[in-house]
Structure 1
């Protein structure tokens, strides 16, 4: 039977074999002096240019308080590219890119500075042929978003003119709780239409996150068992082996749950649990994710099915490290958690009765992000206990970072004359199967912003649904009035988290 091929939104509609290239535009970055800009955004822009995905009519504008001229900012971009870019440095690519680099000096509340910004991008529209298309990337604290979007409106840079576009890009966190998320959305939506607002969750730009959709919906093998008839429980982990570094001003008062679970992990849960969309267009993907998040709820017993911790001092990775309360800028009486684990239940036909366990933490044994589906045991095992004493759960594990790939864990016979069963792994590794290296998440996401292609960007409805799941847990922890349990650095978190799963008859995977 011949079926019509579905269009791939990642390909040019005129030739699906060719990647789409951004049209003429200006990208303005607020907060260009921060780590995100120097380590991720500037290198990603260069990598896109190096891959031929940016047009000659492209310009990059930095906005900050520094006493820089255009050439000073160009040198900053050059150095960031040389140190952090994924693709090789090519002089001809840099020359074309650097000709469109500009810098505007000023405070975010300075009307004169925003007037200079307006004139600068108007000059670029003429000199570089950027066509009046402008994207504003807010790599700044969320508390400053209202100031910037208000300035863009007052100076006419948010206007949606015929044949032109103006877009705003917002970095997480999207609010501090449900109420603040709604307030933030009202501020932004009063200036930009929803189709012009791009909320960045860089995890959704990772190749292996997108491969989750391919694994589920391009293979008949997995989807029939992707439900509560076969899946016992699901674990979603984002572990870091580092501490907070120099982020004390941001991190304290935010904590692990707000920093990671509310956005990254709940988005991974939605992609794991959602129904098949009718297409991979933004509207269809968003609809299915929203259905899952609307059906998801926090655990009924918050005492038994949530856990939090704070890393202590000691040895990790062969070096002596400070505890969280010893880090520079952290108050001695802080109760901010650096580890958080929660159970989430999904009240729908596919997942009823299957607990989803989400955990994240700093100063853990290793850096790893993964989604692990544990399958139910076979209803009958025709083996003796000694044959299968080491046999555990079948598992399908999607490794998102750092060793991107998929692992299938199952029982196999040990060579020999006796029937002895042991767990083994079957691995697929991206690096071993594809010669082309995966683009960085920010490459994909910045390109999607410039293309106006929003499949990988959560809308405000998803953000608010995520806060509805997390808010009761945060309120419960706040009402306890106690400090989180201390856990040793280089381990896998507090004992409270182990007990959380043990109560349900499970244990955490050791990635």
Structure 2
């Protein structure tokens, strides 16, 4: 019988039955002309307002190198909302937002423009009652981070006075290696205290990623088997069925390992492997994730336990597509990978001997992100081989996207008189079990920034630990001079990735 008097370890001390509504504040978006702003950030702001989670005292300021007036930017926001918002369009909600929309034209190193921004924020604090609370979202290339942060300090826009706050939001990548990540942290922390720095990893805002914690720690069913006594391998996959699109300027020189493994997949590894925190506040969650990342190490033999490739010309989704080096803006001599797979081992008692395989790639067979735990075979099977010919290992699969849910794979008897065992799946889908739709990741993360609620944001210690795992691999690839292996578009990656797992006696799961 469940003891209802015991506190729920997953419930915040605040009453989660009540909506978390942000206080009066201004969100300043640097880089409002980019795809991220128009497709994700601006629609997320509207969806928050439409759900009643933004106060009347809220304002949105765009900053970009455009010759726009306030009404021009308002039209950009309107069009983005119409095209990409998750919730239905409401004229009443739009009018409420519209009165707080402003635009500041200028370059990132333009002192006059930042003085204009300062005046605009002061006007909003007065007219909209935003109370001097400002969040600066840097949706810009990393090379401009230092310039913008320096300008905010120079023009007095980063100072905190009394109950007022100023916060900065940084989009990944957080550097391109350990040294640059440390330098970025030095720059940002010289202007903003660590409690005011929010590093956005949108995967951590996905509802199903947060439900990983619920699955693990709210169910006694899984805790006894969540260790190396029962699990023999873990596979974490982020596969995309698209190419780089128009992102050649960003992607070339970055590659799949830096773009996805260093942040998204290592964070998923930490959430999968961490010990139970004493509470679910930001400090305790960070502590347990940092312990796991500190215990994680790259493979001893990088050649044998990593793989990288790039997609070749072929067919995907019924259409003929270019290979990576044929994409506009990509040099034929590029050494950038579009597929990366690595093995990571965790040197602690719970996970010793269990390999974690992380893979990410573009132009693969289908779009899917998942964490799959493979279990050891039963030590004794009282069945003839013919009765269990199709019996594989048990598995627990946490699907992050697109079909959010959990799948359990186990053996069951086929109906009939003979004892024949076959693999079956038991499936749970969030969309079928809950009537309310899940908010987009950026809705949750923007709201958390405005609330000053930091549990889902990695701090610089986690970022640096992740680079310590990945740096030796990246350096080895660069020093080897061996180009990434081509793989067919629409396949599951290069041959070397299959060979990598075969050496350990495993095969990649086919989602």
TM-score range, shorter chain: over 0.9
Contact 1:8 1:16 in 2 (8 A): no
Contact 1:10-1:20 at 8 Å conserved across structures: no
Contact 2:374 2:396 in 1 (8 A): yes
Report the equivalent of 1:423.
423
Is 1:454 matched with 2:459?
no
Q: Distance in 2 between matches of 1:155 and 1:8?
A: 42
Instruction: Tell whether the 8 Å contact from 1:205 to 1:441 is kept in structure 2 after alignment.
Output: yes
TM-score (normalised: structure 2): 0.99
The answer on whether the counterparts of 1:23 and 1:55 sit within 8 Å (CA) in structure 2 is: yes
- 1:172 aligns with 172
**5+ unaligned residues in a row in structure 2: which ranges?**
none
Aligned to 1:5: 7
C-alpha deviations, 1:46-75, integer Å up to 9, x for none? 000000000000000000011110001000
Aligned to 2:80: 80
The structural deviation recorded for 1:317 is 1.1
SS at match of 1:63: strand
Structure 1 residue 3: Cα displacement: 4.4
Displacement after TM superposition at 1:2 (Å): 6.5
Give CA-to-partner distance per residue, 1:330-350, whole Å, 9 cap, x none.
011001000000000000000
Aligned 8 A contact 2:501 2:507 in 1: yes
Measured at CA, do residues 251 and 300 of structure 1 come closer, stay the same or move farther in structure 2, by a change above 3 Å?
same
Q: Which position in structure 1 is the counterpart of 2:92?
A: 92
Q: Distance between the aligned counterparts of 1:410 and 1:234, measured in 2?
A: 16
Could you say what secondary structure the match of 1:340 adopts? strand
Change (3 A) 1:254 1:392: same
Match of 2:239 in 1: 239
Structure 1 residue runs of 4 or more that deviate by more than 4 Å after TM superposition: 1-4, 6-11
State the distance in 1 between where 2:168 and 2:16 align.
28
Map 1:163-202 onto structure 2 (within 5 A). 163-202=163-202
Identify the residue that residue 390 of structure 1 maps to in structure 2.
390
The 1:2–1:432 alpha-carbon spacing in structure 2 relative to 1, beyond 3 Å, is: closer
The aligned counterpart of 1:338 is 338
Please report how far the alpha carbon of residue 6 of structure 1 lies from its aligned counterpart in structure 2 after TM superposition. Answer: 4.9
- CA–CA separation in structure 2 for the residues paired with 1:6 and 1:218: 8
Distance 1:185 1:16 in 2: 33
Length, aligned pairs only: 509
Provide, for residues 305-341 of structure 1, a one-character-per-residue CA deviation record: whole Å limited to 9, x for no partner. 0000010001111000000000000011001000000
1:349-388 correspondence runs (5 A): 349-388=349-388
CA contact (8 A) 1:9 1:281 kept: no
**C-alpha deviation, 1:8, in angstroms:** 6.0
**Which residue in the other structure is 1:110 paired with?**
110
Match for residue 506 of structure 2?
Answer: 506
Is 1:268 the equivalent of 2:268?
yes
CA drift of 1:449 comes to 0.2
Aligned-residue offset at 1:416: 1.0
How many angstroms does 1:20 deviate by?
1.2
8 Å contact kept, 1:10–1:19: no
Instruction: Indicate yes or no: 2:71 matched with 1:71.
Output: yes
Query: Residue 230 of structure 1 corresponds to which residue in structure 2?
Result: 230
Give the Cα–Cα distance (whole angstroms) in 1 for the partners of residues 405 and 6 of structure 2. Answer: 30
Deviation at 1:4, TM superposition (A): 4.6
**Who is 2:143 aligned against?**
143
CA deviations on 1:213-236 (whole Å, 9 max, x unpaired) are: 000000010111000000010000
Shift of 1:510: 0.3
Query: Residue deviations 1:178-202, cap 9 Å, x none?
Result: 0000000000000000000000000
Compute the displacement of 1:5 (Å).
Answer: 2.1
Distance 1:164 1:8 in 2: 30
Distance 1:8 1:353, change over 3 A: closer
Distance 1:10 1:328 in 2: 49
Question: Per the alignment, in what secondary structure is the counterpart of residue 183 of structure 2?
Answer: helix
Aligned to 2:60: 60
Alpha-carbon offset, residue 417 of structure 1: 1.0
Q: 1:480-495 residue pairs with structure 2 within 5 A? A: 480-495=480-495
| Equivalent-residue separation in structure 2 for 1:334 and 1:130 (angstroms) | 48
